[in-house]
Every structure is written in structure tokens, then in C-alpha cells.
């Protein structure tokens, strides 16, 4: 079981709700993934518009917990206001805090992130910060009151998977008691399994499922990979070696020549 | 009164935020509102008086990652 602030969940997958071929496929992918937490966002509503309401009702019907995000915010002020507006709509203190610092890489502005995290925790929010694998920034986020950290493993939507496994290893070792969720950059179930083998607590992803040829099947594939990776971590995997080591014992081997 | 609603200038005959939502036919409990960069809770909209060229944001839930 995974404890995120005061909530305990069984599933290790947090699933985004964007870019699916249809609302029906999104709903089925959520069900097959067995996720208990989905991310949502806020956007300008047109006068008389019903789009937001329809989406809101659909998510409610799925019976999962929502984690609103501040996606697209490039300043502390924007992110803080978006978080407050999200709390007003979704009635949760949870917020996936994104303060974007770079247009092309969507790399977090970690200075703004720490500042926004400080402001929001003081206002009673439970912050899930989308951050880099920088250890010093992570320390500052914990000092700011975050009890969960969400380092990227590659740029958002890039599907590259863990580009710097060593950094993720150090990050895990540095914060053994903090729930760590890899957020962004996962492209395949094998990537998710890899970070779980490194000891991460959960994975947040969206595009890897939503843009797959069959999002529903891929949702299930990720659920299985997460379980396999977690089990493997608990079972303590072998470390790679430089040379071959025979797996069949040589003692008692027949000598024919 | 001229207001800037979701980034667009509009002339609207409404003096409170709640009245503005009515006039523009916004409905539902899923809207979030802010005026001049500050959140206005849904329960405060009826008492919130608007001023000339106030900047109003009206947001609703949508898909996100």
C-alpha cells in the first residue's frame, strides 16, 4: 500500500486524462489500469459551454480520486492562483504543482517551484511537486512542506524513459522515507518497471497510454509492469557484472578428453 | 460596463460576478472564478461587485496530465 499524505492507495499508477482518442477509451483505460488517482486540469470555459461539466461528471462517475495540476503555468503567481481555483472546483487539497521554466523541454522552473510550494503548503495544500532529479531542489521542496516528490525521468511526453538512472538511484537513496513518484518521460511499460526496480513508489504517466495504438491494453500493460518492477525491487535484483559467470555448476562435470 | 472576460473585452450589463455568469449563461457547480488575479469562491460571487475593466477568469475542468 502507498501512503500519499493522508490517503492510502493500492495502485502504483497515477494516470493522466489527456489526449485519449475518446472519453469512452479514457474511461476504459482508467478501469483496466486499476489506477485510483487521475490527474485533471482547468482551462477557460466558453460562455454557455458544457465541455468542462461533461468531463467533470465523467471523472466523478469513475469513482477515482483526482489530482488537479497547474500545467502550463510559467510563474509562481499563475501556479498559485490555478491551484486555488482547482481546489474550489475539485474540493481537494491535493495539487500537482508544475511551474514550467523552459518552452522546449518543459523543464520545471525549480526556483519558482520551491517558492510556489512554500506558499501553497502554508495555505493548507498538499503539494505533489513536478521537479527534476536535483537533490538540493528536492531538499528545499521538503523544507517547503512537501511530503511527496515527483522527479522527471525525461522531458514530458518524450517517451524516452529513464535517461539518467544513476540520478534516480541517488535520489531514491537520499530520500528513503519520502514517497517518490516518477512523473514525466515514461514511454513504455519496461521504463515503468525499471524505475520501480530502482525502488520508486509509483509512476505518473499520460501520453504513453493515451497515444498508444491501443490505450486500454497499454493501461493494463503498465499496471502489470509496475507490479513486476515493485516485486523485483523487493526481491533484490542482481547487480550487473563485467564478466560471464556460469550458471550451471562446474563441480562434477564429466571430462571427456 | 467593459470587462475583460477570459482575455476578451466585452460590454456586459452585470454588476456582480454571479449576475455576470447568469447573463453569459454559464452554469454548473464546476466553474472556478478569479477577478484581477484573485480567486473568488463560488459562495462569494453574489456579493462580489465588479468594476470597470476588471479582468475575469472563468475556468472549468478539463483533461490533464
pLDDT tens-digit series, residues A198-253: 999 999 999 999 999 999 999 999 999 999 999 999 999 999 999 998 899 888 88
Q: CB-based contacts of A97: which residues, under 8 Å, 6+ apart?
A: A69, A70, A79, A83, A113, A116, A117, A120, A127, A128, A129, A130
pLDDT tens-digit series, residues A80-102: 999 999 999 999 999 999 999 99
Per-residue confidence (pLDDT) for residue A50, from 0 to 100? 79
| Residues of A whose CB is below 8 A from B60 | 42-43, 45, 49, 51-53, 55-56, 89
Taking 80 as the threshold, does the pLDDT of residue B55 lie above it? yes
- Judge whether A207 is closer than 8 Å to chain B, CB to CB: yes
- Judge whether A47 is closer than 8 Å to chain B, CB to CB: yes
Does the distance separating the beta carbons of A85 and B61 come in below 8 Å? no
- Judge whether A70 is closer than 8 Å to chain B, CB to CB: no
pTM above 0.90, yes or no: yes
Does the distance separating the beta carbons of A18 and B32 come in below 8 Å? no
| Residues of B whose CB is below 8 A from A68 | 64
Does the distance separating the beta carbons of B62 and A89 come in below 8 Å? no
pLDDT tens-digit series, residues A15-48: 999 999 999 999 999 999 999 999 999 999 988 8
| Residues of A whose CB is below 8 A from B42 | 88
| Complex ipTM | 0.94
Question: DSSP string spanning B3-24?
Answer: EEETTEEEE---SBHHHHHHHT
Helix, strand, coil share (%) of chain A residues, nearest 5: 40, 20, 40
Amino acid at each position: 500500500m502507498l501512503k500519499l499524505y493522508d490517503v492510502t492507495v493500492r495502485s502504483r499508477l497515477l494516470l493522466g486524462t489527456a489526449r485519449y482518442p475518446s472519453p469512452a477509451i479514457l474511461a476504459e483505460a482508467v478501469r483496466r489500469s486499476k489506477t485510483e488517482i487521475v490527474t485533471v486540469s482547468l482551462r477557460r470555459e466558453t460562455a454557455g459551454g458544457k465541455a468542462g461539466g461533461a468531463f467533470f461528471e465523467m471523472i466523478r462517475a469513475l469513482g477515482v480520486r483526482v489530482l488537479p495540476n497547474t500545467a502550463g503555468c510559467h510563474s509562481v503567481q499563475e501556479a498559485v492562483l490555478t491551484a486555488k481555483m482547482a481546489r474550489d472546483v475539485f474540493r481537494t487539497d491535493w495539487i500537482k504543482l508544475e511551474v514550467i521554466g523552459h518552452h522546449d523541454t518543459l523543464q520545471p522552473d525549480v526556483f519558482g517551484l520551491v517558492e510556489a510550494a512554500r506558499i501553497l503548503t502554508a495555505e493548507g495544500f498538499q503539494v505533489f511537486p513536478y521537479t527534476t532529479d536535483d537533490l538540493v531542489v528536492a531538499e528545499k521542496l521538503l523544507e517547503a512542506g512537501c511530503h511527496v516528490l515527483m522527479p522527471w525521468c525525461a522531458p514530458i511526453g518524450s517517451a524516452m524513459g529513464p535517461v539518467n538512472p544513476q540520478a534516480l538511484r541517488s535520489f531514491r537513496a537520499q530520500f528513503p522515507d519520502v514517497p517518490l513518484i516518477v512523473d514525466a518521460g515514461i514511454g513504455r511499460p519496461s521504463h515503468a518497471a525499471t524505475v520501480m526496480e530502482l525502488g520508486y513508489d509509483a509512476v505518473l504517466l499520460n501520453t504513453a497510454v493515451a497515444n498508444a495504438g491501443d490505450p486500454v491494453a497499454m493501461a493494463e500493460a503498465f499496471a502489470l509492469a509496475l507490479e513486476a518492477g515493485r516485486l523485483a525491487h523487493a526481491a533484490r535484483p542482481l547487480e550487473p557484472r563485467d564478466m560471464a559467470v556460469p550458471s550451471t555448476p562446474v563441480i562434477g562435470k564429466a571430462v571427456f578428453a | 460596463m467593459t470587462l475583460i472576460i477570459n482575455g476578451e473585452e466585452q460590454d456586459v450589463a452585470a454588476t456582480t460576478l454571479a449576475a455576470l455568469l447568469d447573463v453569459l449563461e454559464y452554469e454548473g457547480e464546476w466553474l472556478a472564478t478569479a477577478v484581477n488575479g484573485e480567486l473568488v469562491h463560488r459562495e462569494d460571487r453574489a456579493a462580489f461587485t465588479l468594476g470597470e475593466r476588471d479582468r475575469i477568469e472563468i475556468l472549468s475542468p478539463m483533461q490533464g496530465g
